[in-house]
């Protein structure tokens, strides 16, 4: 089913529709009574406005490209310099939770270069300050300055129109792309992976087709060509479609793994890395934030028959994207005794307060009255890895909680699947990047995220090297958290019960 945009009129002008190649001056006008909205296929149409006779140009907004997204667009003044752009629900599905509405990516054409333009983005599904980005070529992205973008006070998530970001800027060029954060599309991933076409360490395969658009879901294996006993590390990202930060983390990790230096060689010799960089390709292509093309949240649908000791296959009601990832990567990994899996990373991004750094979701705890020896062993393994990552990322990882709890066992997360099959043998854990300053003195950049990928590589390098800088003792409570820059923030874990 095609997705739609809704178009509102104002009293001075009439709305007009055109295909992207048309000139706004030549569009066929469609008169609309009053302010009543009309709906047209978003994938086919560009929004335009035919102004009063005193207006010399018409601004148009497009989202008819991969990962593009915008909902209802309303002109608020006679000169076409003040606009309201409402975020759309994934697949235009209004039944989804408000917090799923967190992405926009739009192209503005015929923008004034002589006067500032004001854009009010509304129906935002979270209430934290942030900075959107813009680009004049859809490649090099820039943050809006603090004086140009303002998250309006008074946001109440249950009343979507109260959650607004207002941007006022004099643009330098007549065409500009504007997004909630740095886009990273399916085409971007394919272009990045092509860099490794002739690498002796990288093998690229397709694990299946996305169920709606039929796009190949790429997987990557990185290892030395040599034979020998190794362990396996499994990584997947972009389960939530527009959580783009993890894509840059994957790039940083892959860059480290494929370099011809001592670190890269050690990691390739000791591990086989199986990576699925973009799990939810339909959602990415369709411009969704969280769900797939059927409005399903893939993260909590790893359905298995827990009455079976080793339910290697998912139940039929699990989404096809999860079925494919399971059949091609996870199930073979747990079945391969010669190359046992030791780490399974699930990469995400979190809408959080601006100063929230990247953080992990560890499980269980150290209390023997509450947890078995196997559960406590996983807890210690996860804390050690979190501290290792923090030590290689200048402490810009949030402190983990004193107890991770066991609630995930009652859910259908991918970590629940790993625990059921491998228990403490596999450190299955989620890493959440964030969109704000993330511990820096600036809004986080793509290179900052790539450096987090390099920090993961260094932490992995120290996992079975007891004298590595990555490995810190858990026996000294006074020093256990000395690698972190910030004190523990309980609100992070209170607000992120469903990751």
CATH code of 366's domain: 3.40.630.10
Residues 8 and 24 in one domain: yes
Residues 172 and 275 in one domain: no
Residues 369 and 237 in one domain: yes
pLDDT value of position 497 = 52
Residues 198 and 58 in one domain: no
Residues 48 and 20 in one domain: yes
Instruction: Give the range of the structural domain holding residue 449, as residue numbers without chain letter.
Output: 186-494
Per-residue model confidence as pLDDT tens digits over 143-174: 999 999 999 999 999 999 999 999 999 999 99
For strand 271-276 and strand 341-350, is the pairing parallel, antiparallel, or unpaired?
unpaired
Active site residue ranges: 432
In this model, does residue 185 exceed pLDDT 50? yes
- State phi, psi for 143 to the nearest 5 degrees: -75, 145
Q: CA quadruple 461, 467, 470, 473: dihedral positive or negative? A: positive
CA atoms within 13 A on the CB side of 232: 23
pLDDT value of position 100 = 96
Nearest to 350 by CA among 365, 364, 361, 362: 361
Give the pLDDT band (50/70/90) at residue 33. very low
pLDDT value of position 40 = 36
Residues 144 and 213 in one domain: no
Residues 193 and 80 in one domain: no
Measure CA of the first residue to CA of the last residue in the chain; give whole Å: 28
Last residue in a domain, options 146, 179, 212: 179
Last residue in a domain, options 147, 179, 211: 179
- 331 lies in a domain? yes
Residues 271 and 397 in one domain: yes
Nearest to 357 by CA among 312, 306, 399, 314: 399
pLDDT value of position 478 = 60
Residues 201 and 170 in one domain: no
State what percent of residues in the chain have pLDDT above 90.
Answer: 81
Give the pLDDT band (50/70/90) at residue 466. low
Beta-bridge mates of residue 216: 209
Residues 233 and 147 in one domain: no
State what percent of residues in the chain have pLDDT above 70.
Answer: 85
Any idea which of 202-211, 306-315, 326-335 has the lowest mean pLDDT?
Answer: 306-315
- 499 lies in a domain? no
Residues 449 and 381 in one domain: yes
Looking at the 3D structure of the chain, how many domains does it have? 2
Spatial CB neighbours of 206, under 8 Å, sequence gap ≥ 6: 216, 217, 218, 219
Mean pLDDT rounded to a whole number for the chain = 88
Residues 8, 31 contacting (CB under 8 angstroms): no
Tell me how many degrees the CA angle 248-169-36 measures, rounded to the nearest 5: 95
Any idea which of 40-44, 74-78, 399-403 has the lowest mean pLDDT?
Answer: 40-44
CATH code of 62's domain: 2.60.40.3120
Residues 168 and 249 in one domain: no
In this model, does residue 219 exceed pLDDT 80? yes
């Amino acid at each position: 089913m095609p997705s739609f945009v809704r178009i509102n009129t104002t009293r001075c002008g009439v709305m007009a529709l055109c295909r992207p190649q048309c000139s706004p001056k030549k569009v066929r006008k469609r008169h609309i009574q009053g302010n009543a909205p009309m709906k047209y296929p978003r994938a086919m149409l560009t929004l335009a406005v035919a102004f009063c006779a005193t207006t010399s140009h018409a601004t148009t907004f497009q989202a008819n490209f991969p990962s593009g997204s915008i909902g209802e667009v309303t002109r608020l003044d006679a000169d076409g310099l003040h606009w309201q752009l409402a975020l759309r629900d994934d697949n235009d599905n209004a039944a989804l939770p408000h917090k799923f509405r967190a992405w926009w990516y739009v192209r503005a054409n015929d923008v004034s270069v002589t006067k500032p333009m004001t854009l009010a983005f509304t129906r935002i599904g979270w209430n934290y300050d942030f900075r959107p980005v813009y680009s004049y070529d859809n490649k090099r992205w820039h943050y809006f300055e603090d004086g140009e973008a303002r998250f309006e006070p008074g946001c109440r998530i249950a009343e979507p129109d109260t959650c607004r970001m207002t941007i006022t800027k004099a643009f330098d060029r007549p065409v500009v792309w504007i997004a909630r954060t740095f886009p990273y599309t399916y085409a971007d991933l394919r272009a990045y992976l092509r860099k490794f076409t002739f690498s002796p360490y990288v093998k690229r395969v397709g694990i299946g087709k996305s169920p709606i658009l039929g796009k190949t879901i790429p997987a990557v294996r990185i290892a030395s060509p040599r034979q020998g006993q190794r362990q396996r590390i499994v990584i997947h990202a972009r389960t939530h479609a527009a959580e783009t930060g993890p894509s840059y983390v994957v790039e940083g990790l892959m860059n480290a793994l494929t370099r011809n230096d001592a670190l890269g060689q050690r990691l390739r010799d000791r591990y086989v890395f199986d990576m699925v960089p973009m799990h939810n390709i339909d959602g990415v292509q369709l411009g969704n934030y969280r769900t797939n093309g059927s409005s399903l949240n893939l993260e909590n649908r790893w359905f298995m028959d827990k009455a079976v000791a080793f339910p290697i296959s998912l139940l039929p009601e699990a989404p096809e994207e999860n079925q494919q990832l399971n059949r091609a990567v996870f199930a073979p990994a747990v079945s391969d005794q010669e190359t046992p899996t030791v780490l399974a990373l699930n990469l995400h991004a979190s809408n959080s307060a601006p100063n929230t750094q990247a953080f992990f979701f560890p499980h269980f705890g150290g209390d023997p009255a509450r947890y078995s020896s196997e559960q406590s062993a996983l807890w210690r393994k996860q804390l050690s890895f979190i501290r290792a990552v923090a030590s290689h990322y200048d402490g810009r990882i949030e402190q983990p909680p004193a107890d991770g709890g066991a609630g995930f066992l009652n859910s259908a997360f991918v970590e629940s699947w790993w625990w059921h099959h491998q228990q403490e043998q596999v450190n299955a854990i989620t890493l959440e990047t964030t969109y704000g300053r993330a511990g820096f003195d600036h809004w986080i950049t793509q290179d900052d995220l790539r450096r987090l990928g390099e920090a993961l590589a260094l932490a992995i390098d120290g996992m079975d090297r007891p004298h590595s800088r990555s490995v810190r003792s858990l026996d000294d409570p006074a020093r256990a958290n000395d690698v972190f820059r910030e004190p523990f923030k309980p609100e992070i874990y209170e607000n992120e019960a469903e990751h």
